[in-house]
Structure 1
Amino acid sequence: MKTLDFYPTTDIDELAWPEENYDLTIDSPALSFFTDFQSNKPLIVESTWSVLNVKELMQKEHVRLKFVIDENKHFIGVVSADDIIERKIVQKVSEGLERSEIVVADLMTAKKNLKALDWQDISKASISDVITALKNDGERHCLVMDRENHKIRGIFSASDISRRLRLNIDIQEKTSFSKVFTATL
């Protein structure tokens, strides 16, 4: 067994930081902005977890979206900060659930209601193409699937893109009849 020594840090002034690429522009390859799940673990929650706990967790972690898995660790949907707003929790309470009984599966967006870009397409695209797709679809996040291997390969986040480009990306959520109808109930 090797003995490890401790050293004083009094002469150390700097923290190590990931190298920032300041040469990024809207014409940069989309993959420069892509969170690839082959090298970064997806942020997950289980479908049976309390919505109140997940809401608190997401606020602490400063994330707006998590992937939802079932008891077999299969991808079944996503839950966003917009899915677990107080109004939606109160609606579930009005349906007879106790606040503490509401679980992620009650408010998440099921995978059958999600769309994704294809890995092959984004590997040839610029980040401008992705921004346009996000704006056109009114989405802050965009899943990317590897159709050949039947997996969600990763995600784009408008806030991450905005931060890295130092550019305000204004995503206007599309208003659909169903969203207007359910908001008035």
Structure 2
Amino acid sequence: MAAAAWLAMAAAMMVVVALPMQQVGANSEGDALSALRRSLRDPGGVLQSWDPTLVNPCTWELYKNNIQGAIPSELGNLKSLISLDLYKNNISGTIPPTLGKLKSLVFLRLNGNRLTGPIPRELAGISSLKVVDVSSNDLCGTIPTSGPFEHIPLSNFEKNPRLEGPELQGLAVYDTNC
């Protein structure tokens, strides 16, 4: 009888300990989405209906909206994110290296913005990544050549005048000031 009571109490304690852990995980993703919203200016009002508590925010259309601002590093906390489509906006700043923590990411489309700086090497560690398009920005440095970058078409890096790579001969003017 004492063993059964102890077992029931231990199980109850595990539930009490596990609940805050689940909330922390859920909050970190909600916090990441809230950070994204706070970091962006939205002249067209497309973000007004955002609810960071939604279970499935996959319906958020963040492309072609003239959204302005920077990509927050907190987006690296969206562990289940499959597609990050911020193309054809006015996104500025750098690509956060924390996006390399998105191990489920398959699509990364950041083309047609005003991004600067290098392509983070951390992105080469995302084995699930199939599509990367960073064309038409102002990125600099060299294109990663390992991991998923081995199979990304060179056209997905075009129109970054300061981006280097031997394969870009004729597509970009080389500039080592990154």
Category of TM-score, reference length = shorter chain: under 0.3
Structure with bigger RCO (C-alpha 8 Å, 6+ apart): 1
Give me the TM-score of the superposition, normalised by structure 2. Answer: 0.20
